[in-house]
Amino acid sequence: MAHDHKLEIFRGLWKFKSNVQKIWGVLAFLSLVTAIEVILGIYKPAVLTQNYFIGMKLLNWIFIILTLVKAYYIAWDFMHLRDEKSSLRRAIVWTPIFLICYLIFILLFEADYIYTVFKEGYLSWNF
């Protein structure tokens, strides 16, 4: 068990005096991110819903990026991956990321193909 904790987040921009303080700091940050997500989700600014980037609304990109940010801080500070050896961290993090990216790519492409078949093929389903 690692007794020494790394006490800075945001690449050293924010340093804490003790591990307990760091935990509360991370909680404040995660709550802030969730609040931003909920406010954006309720108001849905038109600028973000009408503009697209690689086939997806900007708003959805923001949601996904904020989710990954939250996931990072949960894994790094709550699951204390920050204090683990980098070899353990890499084994745990990059393996699923690689597999999941592959899965997302292959299934969403396939789904988009089926969508065009349903839309343009000689097939009626919406009746």
Partner 1 sequence: MDTTVTTGSEESVWGGGNRPLNASYGKMMMWFFIVSDALTFSGFLVSYGFSRFKFIETWPIADEVFTHVPFFHGNYPMIYVAFMTFILIMSSVTMVLAVDAGHKMKKNRVIWYMFATIIGGAIFVGSQAWEWATFIKGDFGAVETKGGRILQFVHADTGERAALADFAQTLPEDRVKHIKSEGVWYMQEGYKTSYSLNEVVEGFKASPNILIRTETINEEGEKTVLDRSGSLAKLANATQVVEGANLIHNEYGSRLFADFFFFITGFHGFHVFSGVVINIIIFFNIILGTYERRGHYEMVEKVGLYWHFVDLVWVFVFTFFYLV
Question: Could you tell me how far CA 30 lies from the centroid of its own chain?
Answer: 12
Q: What is the DSSP string of 23-34?
A: HHHHHHHHHHHH
Whether 81 contacts 93, CB under 8 Å: yes
Residue 89, CB half-sphere, CA atoms under 13 Å: how many?
12
Q: Which residues pair with 86 in a beta bridge?
A: none
Which x/- pattern over 24-43 shows residues binding partner 1 (rule: CB under 8 A)? Answer: x--x--xx--xx-xx--xx-
Which x/- pattern over 98-127 shows residues binding partner 1 (rule: CB under 8 A)? Answer: -xx--xx--xx-xxx-xx--x-----xxxx
What backbone phi and psi angles, to 5 degrees, belong to 5? -105, 145
Residues 41-70 that bind partner 1 (CB under 8 A): 41-42, 49, 60, 63-64, 66-67, 70
Residues that bind partner 1 (CB under 8 A): 1-3, 19-20, 23-24, 27, 30-31, 34-35, 37-38, 41-42, 49, 60, 63-64, 66-67, 70-71, 74-75, 77-80, 84-85, 87-88, 91-92, 95-96, 99-100, 103-104, 107-108, 110-112, 114-115, 118, 124-127
